[in-house]
Amino acid sequence: MTAILALLRKQTKDSLCNFPALMVMLIYPAVAFVMITALGSEEGMSGMFVTMFATMHASFAPLVTASNILSEEKEKGTLRTLMMSGVSRLSYLVSEMLFVVSVSMLTGSAFLAMDAFTRDHAAAFAAAMLCGTVLSALAGLCVGMTSRNVSAANGMAVPIGLVTALLPMLARFNESLDRAARYLYSGQVSRVLESGELSGEFAAVMAVYAVLLTGLTIFLFITESR
Amino acid sequence: MTIVKLDGVTRSFGEKQVLGGVSLQIEKGEIFGLLGPSGAGKTTLVNILTGQMPCGGKAEIFGMDCARIGREVYRRTGAVLDNCGLYERLTCMDNMKLFARLHHTPVSAIAETLRAVGLDGSEGLRVRALSKGMRQRLKLACAILHAPELLFLDEPTSGLDPATAEEIHALMRRLRESGATLFLTTHNMEEAYRLCDRIALLHEGRIVEEGQPAAICRRHGSDAELHIVTSDGKELSLPNLPENAGTVAALMREKKLRAIHSAEPDLGTVFLRLTGKELTQ
Ligand SMILES: Nc1ncnc2c1ncn2[C@@H]1O[C@H](COP(=O)(O)OP(=O)(O)OP(=O)(O)O)[C@@H](O)[C@H]1O
Ligand SMILES: [Mg+2]
């Protein structure tokens, strides 16, 4: 527990000094804000921008941040130093998960301020964002665990992030993409953000991804410790 | 008390055997030096001892199998290793605070530790702004902050200027005085000779000689030649033959003989004789 708190403090300070990392966390809320301010007066535009950019934020930011943090720790040898200071791999991963999810949710909460949400809509929004963020962060951890250094991690995380972030948006314009996006967790997040209602389909897709990604994380956790 | 115990430790990378059965023991309170040329397997052995790498044979620290060491052992050890880094974007103080918290050491101990390594006044500097010597001192500070009983140092002074190296040596001696055990690797024979209580010479994954540095040199000294130091500071070498007895006796009669001993090689020469290879890189 002490270790997790110490790591969270370290990570907060470190990220505040890391401009690219801050950008990843802030870019989508910022762009959405600018677009809405510029074009939002048109009917339905602000809702569409919020859905689009919030989906991108939930799929891209946690994925890239988590994979970057872990792979940088490996590349710079700080992870070794931590392990030799008695930090267990589990508490390291827990602290990183906590950090990435809370920061993404915090910066993502800016979207709530951009649209006139009803209370029900806001609750569904928060739930969908949380699910999407946790899954993306888990995927980021998996990428980080399999990569030796930051560039290898980015090489994997960026394409995955682009697919999960952009497919739900492109699905608006193409029916077959829309069908594919239904099976993508970010596609489901996008649907909930748009409709403002949680659905059974959303729950089912989230559960499947949660099982898959948790399984992969545990598998990598065990094989890596050999 | 035995702190480190190795018994027939082996390690291969693919086909290549790097350690071919290393056995040694390190007792509490000594500075032990592992001496060997580049590629001898020094870092590999440190990685095994610090639980980062599996091995064949038996490797134990504090009576615990190295492959299974956990938090309790890490609390009692510190390490300054090449492959272990610090947080570049954070300041010296923030790095130290992190390790203080991880080791449950009061934050108030940081100032004293930074002073001990000569980094007082640099608390607010970011690590990426530090010179190589300062970084090494900071690594050392992080490693000794929790007053470990056993400290691993992999070439702690390589690439540092002689003055900084000497300061680090002084600190290592102080740590020994306070009861810590130190395990260091080096290919600097001078460093090993002056600093270490005991050394082992590692060559191609085997220990070819072990003992006190001076004793090793004596063991490999030849008595075919005598070294004489006279009272006015002159040094001369004489073949150890009956016809030179007169010269020695004359010096003694005139009270000019200060020292007489066998011709002892330095560690580098011992290494060369044992292996046919130079010790330095
Ligand atoms: N992870 C690894 N994979 C493959 N070979 C390795 C690995 N680590 C070390 N080796 C090999 O093991 C041998 C010993 O390496 P080691 O780093 O232990 O030497 P060293 O004595 O520390 O040398 P130096 O004084 O240069 O630091 C080298 O030949 C090296 O190529
Ligand atoms: Mg080495």
Residues A197-210 have pLDDT tens digits of 889 999 999 999 99
Q: Please check whether residue B82 lies inside any domain of the structure.
A: no
Question: Helix (H, G, I), strand (E, B), or coil: what is residue B208?
Answer: strand
**Are residues B205 and B271 part of one domain?**
yes
The protein residue with its alpha carbon nearest to ligand 1, atom 27, reads B38
How many independent structural domains does chain A possess? 1
Per-residue pLDDT for B78 more than 80? yes
Residues B120-136 have pLDDT tens digits of 889 899 999 999 889 99
Across the interface, whether the CB atoms of A84 and B79 are under 8 A apart is answered: yes
**Are residues B180 and B274 part of one domain?**
yes
Kindly indicate the confidence band of residue B262, based on its pLDDT and cuts at 50, 70 and 90: confident
Strand segments (E) across B111-239:
150-154, 181-186, 198-203, 206-211, 222-230, 235-239
CB A168 within 8 A of CB A187: yes
Residues B101-118 have pLDDT tens digits of 999 999 999 999 999 898
Q: Which domain holds residue A87?
A: 2-12+47-225
CB B149 within 8 A of CB B77: yes
Q: Please check whether residue A158 lies inside any domain of the structure.
A: yes
| Composition of chain B by helix, strand, coil, percent to 5 | 35, 30, 30
- List the CATH number of the domain containing B195: 3.40.50.300
Q: Which domain holds residue B111?
A: 90-141
**Are residues B258 and B214 part of one domain?**
no
Instruction: Give the residue from B103, B119, B141 where a domain finishes.
Output: B141
Share of chain B above pLDDT 90, in %: 51
CB A17 within 8 A of CB B89: yes
Kindly indicate the confidence band of residue A113, based on its pLDDT and cuts at 50, 70 and 90: confident
Q: Please check whether residue B83 lies inside any domain of the structure.
A: no
The protein residue with its alpha carbon nearest to ligand 1, atom 26, reads B38
Region B230-246 average pLDDT:
87
Closest CA to A216 of A159, A153, A158, A135: A135
Q: Please check whether residue A34 lies inside any domain of the structure.
A: no
**Are residues B270 and B164 part of one domain?**
yes
**Are residues B272 and B259 part of one domain?**
no
What is the residue whose two structure tokens read 């990220």?
A15
Task: Give the pLDDT score at B65.
Answer: 92
Residue A87: which of B97, B102, B142 has the nearest Cβ? B102
Give the nearest ligand 1 atom to B37 CA. 25
Task: Give the pLDDT score at A128.
Answer: 94
How many independent structural domains does chain B possess? 3
| C-alpha distance from residue A192 to each of A129, A130, A199, A219 (Å) | 9, 12, 8, 31
CB A96 within 8 A of CB A66: yes
**Are residues B65 and B196 part of one domain?**
yes
CA angle B153, A226, B34 (to 5 degrees): 20
Q: Please check whether residue A37 lies inside any domain of the structure.
A: no
Give the nearest ligand 1 atom to B82 CA. 27
Task: Give the pLDDT score at A41.
Answer: 65
Residues B158-173 have pLDDT tens digits of 888 888 889 899 999 9
Widest Cα–Cα separation across chain A:
58
**Are residues B239 and B215 part of one domain?**
no
Kindly indicate the confidence band of residue A190, based on its pLDDT and cuts at 50, 70 and 90: very high
Q: Please check whether residue A207 lies inside any domain of the structure.
A: yes
**Are residues B280 and B197 part of one domain?**
yes
Q: Please check whether residue A32 lies inside any domain of the structure.
A: no
Residue B67, φ and ψ in degrees, nearest 5: -70, -15
With the C-alpha atoms ordered A143, A145, A147, A150, is the resulting torsion angle positive or negative?
positive
Share of chain B above pLDDT 70, in %: 99
Query: Is residue B164 in contact with ligand 1, taking CB distance under 6 Å?
Result: no
CB B43 within 8 A of CB B185: yes
CA distance A69 to chain B (A): 12
Q: Please check whether residue B81 lies inside any domain of the structure.
A: no
- Which residues, numbered 17 to 36 in chain B, qualify as contacts with chain A under a Cβ-Cβ cut-off of 8 Å? none
Task: Give the pLDDT score at A196.
Answer: 85
CA angle A131, A19, A130 (to 5 degrees): 5
Residue B84: which of A18, A81, A87 has the nearest Cβ? A81
CB A26 within 8 A of CB A12: no
Q: Which two tokens stand for residue B123?
A: 């608390």
The arrangement of strands across the sheet holding B150-154 comes to B77-80, B150-154, B181-186, B31-35, B198-203, B206-211
The protein residue with its alpha carbon nearest to ligand 1, atom 25, reads B38
Neighbours of B33 (CB within 10 A): 25
Region A10-39 average pLDDT:
91
CA distance A17 to chain B (A): 6
Kindly indicate the confidence band of residue A121, based on its pLDDT and cuts at 50, 70 and 90: confident
Q: Please check whether residue B68 lies inside any domain of the structure.
A: yes
Task: Give the pLDDT score at A116.
Answer: 63
Closest CA to B143 of B4, B170, B135: B135
Q: What is the average pLDDT value for chain A, to the nearest integer?
A: 90
- The single-letter code of the amino acid at A44 is G
Q: Please check whether residue B195 lies inside any domain of the structure.
A: yes
**Are residues B64 and B3 part of one domain?**
yes
**Are residues B231 and B100 part of one domain?**
no
Task: Give the pLDDT score at A24.
Answer: 93
Which residues contact residue A146 at a Cβ distance below 8 angstroms, ignoring those fewer than 6 apart? A156, A220
Q: Please check whether residue A140 lies inside any domain of the structure.
A: yes
Q: What stretches of chain A show up as alpha helix (H) in DSSP?
A: 2-16, 19-39, 45-76, 78-84, 89-108, 119-146, 150-170, 175-182, 185-195, 200-224
Q: B7 C-alpha to center of ligand 1: Å?
A: 20
**Are residues B205 and B231 part of one domain?**
no
Per-residue pLDDT for B256 more than 70? yes
For residues B232 and B249, what is the distance between their CA atoms, to the nearest angstrom?
17
For residues B271 and B197, what is the distance between their CA atoms, to the nearest angstrom?
18
DSSP 8-state code for residue B180: -
**Are residues B229 and B217 part of one domain?**
no
With the C-alpha atoms ordered A30, A35, A40, A44, is the resulting torsion angle positive or negative?
negative
Instruction: Give the residue from B101, B121, B141 where a domain finishes.
Output: B141
CA angle A143, A148, A150 (to 5 degrees): 75
CB A172 within 8 A of CB A29: no
Q: Please check whether residue B44 lies inside any domain of the structure.
A: yes
Q: Please check whether residue A91 lies inside any domain of the structure.
A: yes
